[in-house]
Amino acid sequence: MSERVFINEVAPRDGFQIEPGFVPTADKIALIDALSPLGFAGIEVTSFTSPKAIPNLADADRVMAGIDRTPGVSYIALVPNALGVARALAAGTDELNFVMSASDSHGRANLRLTAADSLARFAAMADTGRAAGARLNVSISTAFGCPFEGPVDPARVRDIVARIAALGIHGVTLCDTTGMANPRQVAALCRELIAAWPRLELTLHLHNTRGMGLANALAGFEAGVTRFDAALGGLGGCPFAPGATGNVCSEDLVHMFEQMGVATGVDLDALLRVARDLPALVGHEVPGQVAKAGTAERRHPLPDGVG
């Protein structure tokens, strides 16, 4: 079992894209700059998509160009197509995160592309990215379940991963987009993919929609996964699954691993200070729990009269 995990902070992209209000560009940049020195492996800064599709991230170019870069941190952008690749590279993105859906209904709803459509576009996008020296990753949405179709056949995901690996892409992220995965399912699929493609970097992107986020992270870790996406405060969600809570919360995930004795590289106390400012930034309470309860290291005073 590995004793080190690597965490990508995705709130600036997966969280802010679904916020009820537009987070001002300067606030986005300030948040990313506050997160940069805290020890994350990567920060998903934004998404180079159509401003019509995701108005909240219409400032993608300005955000990516405006942040301070901490050496060793991979600054990631989600890119759905060749135009996104060009914009992301022009803005100085370190890592291109191509996005597709394992299930065709979700792909059509989210990207107007089936899985086959997306895969057909990735070869040219990968060539462009590789020529520019960018790291390349594919995030597979609905890798465990689709809110329209139900469970997704692991054989389908395996076929998709085979196609991605054949393109010379460095990493794949399995996304439980609407929190449908359970720990056994996560463990089984991750074990299978790690065994088949041991050099492909496998990341888990989990949502806590049904409370299983940390349990799924634990199951993935026990299956050999060492890379996780997470969002500050547990921001995020899915527009097609109302009522759903968001991503696995960064500070809760870091806290769990650190309590288990697994190093994350992240400065948890500093992260909690940033997390505690988040409700003021977004204008509402957020799901993260350690920011409210304090870490397991916290000591409470004895009640009066007990000594």
Question: Can you tell me which of 4, 69, 184, 284 binds its own copies, judged by CB under 8 A?
Answer: 184
Question: Can you tell me which of 58, 132, 215, 270 binds its own copies, judged by CB under 8 A?
Answer: 215
Contact 171/136 with Cβ under 8 angstroms?
yes
236 is a contact residue toward its own copies (CB under 8 A) = no
Question: Can you tell me which of 70, 105, 114, 128 binds its own copies, judged by CB under 8 A?
Answer: 105
Task: Identify whether 238 is a catalytic site residue.
Answer: yes
Rounded CA-CA distance 170/173 in Å is 10
50 is a contact residue toward its own copies (CB under 8 A) = no
Mark 145-174 with x for binding to its own copies (rule: CB under 8 A) and - for no binding: x-xxxx------------------------
Considering CB under 8 A, how many residues would be counted as binding its own copies? 55
Rounded CA-CA distance 293/80 in Å is 38
Question: Can you tell me which of 133, 199, 243, 280 binds its own copies, judged by CB under 8 A?
Answer: 243
Q: Residue 204 belongs to what H/E stretch?
A: strand 201-205
Question: Can you tell me which of 30, 50, 70, 108 binds its own copies, judged by CB under 8 A?
Answer: 108
Candidate ranges 27-35, 70-78, 130-138, 183-191; the one touching its own copies (CB under 8 A): 183-191
Reading the block at residue 42, the tokens are: 């990567």
Question: Can you tell me which of 77, 136, 190, 217 binds its own copies, judged by CB under 8 A?
Answer: 217
For the beta carbon of residue 200, count every other beta carbon within 10 angstroms: 17
CB of 275 to its own copies, least distance (A): 12
2 is a contact residue toward its own copies (CB under 8 A) = no
Amino acid letter, residue 35: L
User: Strands 150-151, 145-146: parallel, antiparallel or unpaired by DSSP?
Assistant: antiparallel
Return contacts of 57-64, CB within 8 angstroms, 24+ apart. Answer: 57/13, 57/16, 57/17, 59/25, 59/28, 60/87, 60/88, 60/91, 61/87, 61/90, 61/91, 62/25, 63/12, 63/25, 63/28, 63/29, 63/32, 64/88, 64/91, 64/92, 64/93
List the catalytic residues: 238
Which positions lie near its own copies, rule CB under 8 A? Answer: 105, 108-109, 145, 147-150, 179-185, 208-215, 217-219, 240-241, 243-245, 249, 252, 255-256, 259-261, 288-290, 292-303, 306-307
